[in-house]
Amino acid sequence: MNFSALLAQHPVFELVKKSAHSLGIEAYVVGGYVRDLILKRPSKDIDFVCVGSGIDLAKEVAANIGSKKKFQVFKNFGTASIHHGDWELEFVGARKESYQRDSRKPIVEEGTLEDDQNRRDFTINALAISLNEENYGALIDPFGGVKDLKKKIIKTPLEPDVTFSDDPLRMIRAIRFASQLNFDIAPNTFDSIIKNAERLKIISAERITDELNKIILTEKPSYGFKLLYHAQLLDKFFPEIVELQGVDEKNGFKHKDNFYHTLQVLDNTAEYGGDLWLRWAAILHDIAKPATKRFNPKQGWTFHGHEDKGARMVPKIFKRMKLPLNEKMKYVQKLVLLHLRPIPLVRDNITDNAVRRLLFEAGDDIEDLMTLCRADVTSKNMNKVKQFRANFDKVEQKMKEVEENDQVRNFQPPVSGEDIMKAFDLSPCKEIGIIKSEIKEAILDGEIQNNREEAYEYMLEVGRKLKLKAQ
Ligand code: CTP
């Protein structure tokens, strides 16, 4: 197989060839870029390996590109990168040890291309294309990576126990690549994952979460989660979700398996085009079901308050998993907390107040909440699913009407604290907060309209009740 025609699509390959030649060293393009080139997947990261100093090669390439601005050296790791337009070019010297770009462990013992390929994670990631004059564009595929790409198989180049002990994160990476590419994992590779699952414990939460997020962002994330579960990896870093698995039966009452339900909801949000955080909300929406599960002889199994407890569990899970503790987390918490609220709004006799309150609480996340609710409808009976989802169309219509009238979605108090102070000649005091909150409640209850005139009148009324004197 010769790739020189494909390499011609990007001028950087000729440049690296020239640079390596002038330094008198061998250079190759390796890893994910080659894999994606064969799979015709777009890729913006190109990894180069040379038999010599990666930093020297990068320097030479940067000089040839004519820009040193976006050139970065990571001395400890013997690597350097160049940011070139949309492209991220990484240079490394061939090494004898495991190639772990994101590990903190400094390298390295220099090696040959063969050594380097031996120490990579999977056969499909151990492909190299020569950038040397004598065989420019030739594919070097010592482990049958192309064959595995065709067979859609994830397999380690060496004995899996060896490859995984070099870097146990690779066990999750195997599942990540299987999920992204819709591949299988070779049986002996998978057996080795089960055998070595405990070793995941030495891997940092950041690295695990990075891979997990990539799994979550795939087209059908349930596939990756099921693999993680069956490989006995999932419980090592996400025990709460594993707890959801299982069905209890008592006096003829059965509840659904909340693990598989959650995965279905996750797939549904993916199908709706949900981003990472909406998908996290799907993953966590029922997370407190095991903790709130009770048996009631009349009703059967109940999970009262699981939305509330679930929302309270989110920060701890985010913290442990090193997910961001910022507005993204608050968004996930909010959706978990509110995920049941649109359901009763389906009834015909529901008041505008309930709709208004939900709009107020969900704010701009209301559409995402409705997407989560639609995704949460899982049943084998497709007619039922259709009907329930159509009910949410009605709720949305109702929301639209209420919002047009009242604009509470991004509620701004129509009367400010300043207004209140002026009206009653007050300095800052707790009465101001009381009046503001009463006005808000009156608007949400539909007692007054959300406008300045009615709110001002109402403010005077509340003031009178509080025995304040209007100016
Ligand atoms: N690699 C490895 N072991 C790891 C991490 C990386 O052997 N624990 C090697 C693989 O050869 C991989 C290359 O380093 O192809 C680049 O790693 P990375 O950028 O993480 O993965 P890509 O294969 O480039 O895929 P993606 O860009 O989708 O992450």
Please spell the DSSP secondary structure of 183-251, one letter per residue: -EE-HHHHHHHHHHGGGGGGS-HHHHHHHHHHHHTSSSHHHHHHHHHHTT-HHHH-HHHHHT----EET
Does ligand 1 have an atom closer than 6 angstroms to the CB of 169? yes
Cβ–Cβ under 8 Å, residues 185 and 227: yes
Cβ of residue 170 lying under 6 Å from some atom of ligand 1: yes
Question: Does the Cβ of 47 fall within 6 Å of ligand 1?
Answer: yes
Nearest to 18 by CA among 134, 139, 131, 112: 131
d(CA 464, CA 466): 5
Which ligand 1 atom lies nearest to the CA of residue 167?
8
Q: Which fold has domain 152-237?
A: Hydrophobic Seed Protein (1.10.110)
* Single-letter residue type at 9: Q
Residue 341 and residue 358 in contact, taking contact as beta carbons nearer than 8 Å: yes
The partner residues of 45 in beta bridges, in order of sequence, read 88
Distance 31 CA to ligand 1 centre (A): 6
State how far the alpha carbon of 108 is from the alpha carbons of 37, 73, 78, 258, in Å. Answer: 28, 15, 8, 46
- State whether the beta carbon of 100 lies less than 6 angstroms from ligand 1: yes
Chunked into runs of 10 residues, the chain (471 residues) has average pLDDT values of 88 95 97 96 94 94 79 85 91 80 61 93 97 96 98 97 95 98 98 97 96 98 98 98 95 94 98 98 98 94 97 98 97 98 86 92 96 94 90 92 87 93 94 95 92 95 93 82
The β-bridge relationship of strands 79-84 and 87-93 is: antiparallel
176 CA to middle of ligand 1, Å? Answer: 11
Counting atoms of ligand 1 from 1, which one is nearest the CA of 120? 7
Which residue's CA is the closest to the ligand 1 atom numbered 6?
Answer: 100
What is the rounded CA–CA span in Å between residue 277 and residue 196?
Answer: 30
Phi, psi of 144, rounded to the nearest 5 degrees: 70, 35
Give the integer Cα–Cα distance in Å for 397 and 395: 5
**Tokens 């699952």 correspond to what residue?**
197
Tell which one of 121, 162, 212 to mutate to probe ligand 1, the residue whose CB is within 8 A of the most ligand atoms: 121
Mutate to test the pocket of ligand 1, among 117, 125, 204 (most ligand atoms within 8 A of CB): 125
From the CB of 101, is ligand 1 less than 6 Å away?
A: yes
Query: Hey, which of 36, 47, 113, 183 would you mutate to test ligand 1's pocket, going by the most ligand atoms within 8 Å of its Cβ?
Result: 47
What pLDDT shows up at residue 358?
95
Residue with tokens 């709720």: 395
How far is Cα 163 from Cα 168, in angstroms, rounded to an integer?
A: 8
Q: Which CATH number fits domain 3-151: 2.40.50.140, 3.10.450.50, 3.40.50.2300, 3.30.460.10?
A: 3.30.460.10
Strand partners, 254: 249
The counts of H helices and E strands in the chain are 24, 13
pTM of the model: 0.92
Hunting for tokens 């002026």 — which residue is that? 422
Cα(266) to centroid(ligand 1), Å: 26
Q: Ligand 1 within 6 A of 32 CB?
A: yes
Whether the Cβ atoms of residue 16 and residue 57 lie closer than 8 Å to each other = yes
Q: Ligand 1 centre and the CA of 204: distance in Å?
A: 17
pLDDT confidence of residue 67: 65
Please indicate whether the domains covering 3-151 and 152-237 agree at the CATH topology level: no
How many angstroms is it from 173 CA to the middle of ligand 1? 9
CA distance 249 to 328: 37
Delimit the domains of the chain by residue range.
Answer: 3-151, 152-237, 274-410, 412-466
Dist. CA 414 → ligand 1 center (Å): 55
Neighbours of 1 (CB within 10 A): 11
The residue among 80, 73, 75, 60 whose CA lies nearest residue 12 is: 60
Token readout for 377 is: 């409808």
